Structure 1
């Protein structure tokens, strides 16, 4: 994931279980960095299972999103360690 573009636009597709609770089913972000931060810092843990990000026509799920958040190249300030 060393070539990941944090500045690219991103789309979040919430899991079906999460969407059934009348929460956000789909959300766009101006940057992938903002999307990654939202998933890790704001999305309830239960909602992460089955949710994924699409960035530059690539799909990122669960552990992959956490790796992007933890990466040295991540450009935003982190709330979680």
Structure 2
């Protein structure tokens, strides 16, 4: 998200692009994703569970999802706070 070696953890309200770099499940069809929360359960180093909404082209929520992604592969679409 920011620096590939030390990515900033996503927070509620962040909009990120999920594509092949985040997880192979998004290789064919990347999605824009608005984070509701980051799950605190233990995972592999550099990975996390995110709870949020898949967004359509207008930025409206179309489906609530829980996704398992690589932090270094997330691309932030919202400005930094």
TM-score (norm. length: structure 1): 0.32
Query: Which of the two has greater strand per residue?
Result: 2
Query: Which of the two has greater helix per residue?
Result: 1
